[in-house]
């Protein structure tokens, strides 16, 4: 199957402001691109790209004073399969984990493992390790937090989400990541596009956040917000938490004036 995805964002800055944007598809999907990503700004300004420490594609620019439109669009080929499910996947002992996993066992800006370790072990420590324990964490988070877009707060941490029991997809992800790390299970934060392919349309389209957990020698997708396998995830960025992968990292004040995201299935672009 083929998925068209993109965004249209307008920012307003009181003065010229340096920015780094993470909104392009992750490099590990470049082989699936069936139309190159088109990107432009209005007014037209120079931009450049680089890869960060986590392998994400970042775009640098300096927004002028006033309004700036950011627009991107592309088509990616997708398997059309649901997220992989591996009920027998085992946890790997900490001493045997690859070096690259170790960062994703540690506390981070929004994932306070020091505050939640006892909570995690009290609630999940006696469960059989492996896929079923990670799924139990996601089941708990899915039921513990009430989704409310109007209650979004960019500074809410995993521990605060646990206490307040309200949030948006990033809060579900932060809490699940934290609980996994407390149990010595590597977990990383992911954001990207997730359309309504195969499910009823419930919420307005937006960038989404979910998690990836390292089991049995590979990373698996879990989604505590939706808590069911989905079709057509398009990863934009991965990191320790949302602090590593903001859509827009602005080195000065700005106001989000307009925001639109699209993700939907399209015919084969090579079919003529």
pLDDT at 58 over 80: yes
Q: What is the pLDDT of residue 204?
A: 66
Which pTM does this prediction carry? Answer: 0.95
Domain 2-80+247-266 and domain 94-239 have a common topology:
no
Predicted confidence band of residue 53 (pLDDT cuts 50, 70, 90): very high
Cα 44 from Cα 108, distance rounded (Å): 37
pLDDT, mean of residues 5-9: 95
Q: What is the pLDDT of residues 174-231, one digit of tens each?
A: 999 999 999 999 999 999 999 888 887 666 677 899 999 999 999 999 999 999 999 9
**Peptide bond before residue 43 is cis, with ω within 30 degrees of 0:** yes
Q: Where are the domains of the chain?
A: 2-80+247-266, 94-239
Predicted confidence band of residue 149 (pLDDT cuts 50, 70, 90): confident
Domain 94-239 top-level CATH class = alpha beta
The CATH-assigned architecture of domain 2-80+247-266 is: Sandwich (2.60)
Predicted confidence band of residue 271 (pLDDT cuts 50, 70, 90): confident
Query: Among 84-98, 114-128, 258-272, which is the least confidently predicted range?
Result: 258-272
Average pLDDT, the chain: 95
Q: Let me know: does 7 contact 59? Beta carbons within 8 Å.
A: no
């Amino acid at each position: 199957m083929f998925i068209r995805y993109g965004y249209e964002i307008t920012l307003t800055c009181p003065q010229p402001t340096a920015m780094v944007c993470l909104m392009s598809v992750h490099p590990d999907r470049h082989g699936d691109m069936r139309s190159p990503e088109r990107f432009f700004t209005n007014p037209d300004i120079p931009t450049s790209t680089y890869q960060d420490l986590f392998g994400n594609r970042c775009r640098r620019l300096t927004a002028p004073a006033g309004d700036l439109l950011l627009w991107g669009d592309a088509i990616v080929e997708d398997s059309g399969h649901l997220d992989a499910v591996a009920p027998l996947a085992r946890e790997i002992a900490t001493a045997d984990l690859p070096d690259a996993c170790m960062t994703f066992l540690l506390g981070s800006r929004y994932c306070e493992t020091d505050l939640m370790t006892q909570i995690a072990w009290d609630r999940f420590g006696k469960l059989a390790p492996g896929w079923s324990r990670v799924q139990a964490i996601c089941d708990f988070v899915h039921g513990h937090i009430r989704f409310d877009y109007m209650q979004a707060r960019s500074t809410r941490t995993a521990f605060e989400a646990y206490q307040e029991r309200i949030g948006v997809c990033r809060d579900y992800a932060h809490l699940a990541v934290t609980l996994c790390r407390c149990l010595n299970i590597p977990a990383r934060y992911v954001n990207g596009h997730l359309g309504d392919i195969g499910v009823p349309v419930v919420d307005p389209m937006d960038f989404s956040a979910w998690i990836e957990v390292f089991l049995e020698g590979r990373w698996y997708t879990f989604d505590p917000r939706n808590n069911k396998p989905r079709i057509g995830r398009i990863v934009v960025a991965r990191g320790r938490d949302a602090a590593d992968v903001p859509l827009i990292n602005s080195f000065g004040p700005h106001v989000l004036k307009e925001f639109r995201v699209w993700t939907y299935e399209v015919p084969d672009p090579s079919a003529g």
